[in-house]
Amino acid sequence: MFDARQLARRGISEAALPASSIVRFREASLWTLYRWPLIGGLSVVALETALIAGLLVERRRRRVAQQALGARLRFEHLLADLTATFARVRPAEVEPAIDQALSRLIDVLDVDRAALAEFTSDGRSIRLTHRQRRPGLAPISPSIPMEQYPWTVARMLRGESVTFASVDDLPAEAELDRQMFRLIGTCSFASVPLRAAGVIVGALRVATTRAERAWSAEFLQQLEFLSEIFGNALASRRAEANRREQEERFRTIADAAPVMI
């Protein structure tokens, strides 16, 4: 028989004792003395931790939902304002109205660049006829030749939407496009067809330069709504320009006709 207190004082491990040894006077550990109170306390702490974690997760979900609702309401307000604005704007005022609308679009949709791209007459390139950007960003060329962005321009000419959250998401055949997008600092890009009087005339395009962004289906639908408004405005402007051109032509023909006496 051994005294556990003496073993501890002399630094002798119980493992060194003979197998048949009996050790007496061991000091009870906290776990032995207070096992059930400790289990109860730890259970309460674990339950409170789980509740706090659940509350934090719920709070985050609610905050995300509120932010999404706020963004949706801001867009609906923008859509209503633009619909009313372009319904009463005169054809001669369409150009500045589009520029102002693109500036508002940048703030509401939280993008860094926004532009209307229209096809050139030869159908081999696209020109940014209206473009806006956040303060501090360098302007980009309004002309987009096919040879610089062959993959992107080809799809725009076919009336397809073009989107990527990262330039690395572009396919291998779009390597030249990838290099050009990186050159102008584009992180993410989204483009939807622009139709005037039912004819595809270009695209409404937005981009981010501060950070990459994944474009949701709801966001692309919002772009399509805005593209429809801009397309109707362009169709109205073109119809007015054609009307004036015809009037001028008839006036010229009338002035050149001989006067019958």
217 class by beta-carbon count within 10 Å (0-12 exposed, 13-18 middle, 19+ buried): exposed
DSSP 212: -
Give the contacts of 104 (CB within 8 A, at least 6 positions apart).
78, 81, 82
Cα–Cα distance for residue pair 98/228, rounded to 1 Å = 12
Three-class SS state of 1: coil
CA distances from 130 to 20, 63, 69, 101 (A): 95, 35, 29, 10
User: For the chain, what is the total number of helices (H) and then of strands (E)?
Assistant: 7, 8
Tens digits of pLDDT across the chain (261 residues): 887 788 788 888 877 888 888 877 777 677 777 778 888 888 888 988 898 998 888 888 888 888 777 888 898 999 999 999 988 888 788 889 999 999 999 999 999 999 999 988 777 778 899 999 999 998 888 888 888 899 998 898 888 999 999 999 999 999 999 999 999 999 999 999 999 888 889 999 999 999 999 999 999 999 999 999 999 888 887 777 666 666 676 667 766 655 555
Domains of the chain: 1-33 (no CATH), 63-238 (3.30.450.40)
The single-letter DSSP state of residue 188 is E
Can you name the residues that pair with 132 across neighbouring β-strands? 114
pLDDT at 193: 94
In this structure, are residues 200 and 116 in contact, taking their beta carbons and an 8 Å threshold?
A: no
* Sign for the pseudo-dihedral over CA of 217, 96, 184, 148: positive
Nearest to 81 by CA among 104, 50, 60, 64: 104
Measured in degrees and rounded to the nearest 5, phi and psi for residue 3 equal -95, 115
Q: What's this model's pTM, rounded to 2 decimal places? A: 0.71
Q: With contact defined as beta carbons under 8 Å apart, do 121 and 137 qualify?
A: no
pLDDT at 257: 56
User: Which two tokens mark 164?
Assistant: 């990527």
Pairing state between β 2-3 and 23-24: parallel
The reported pLDDT for the residue numbered 235 is 85
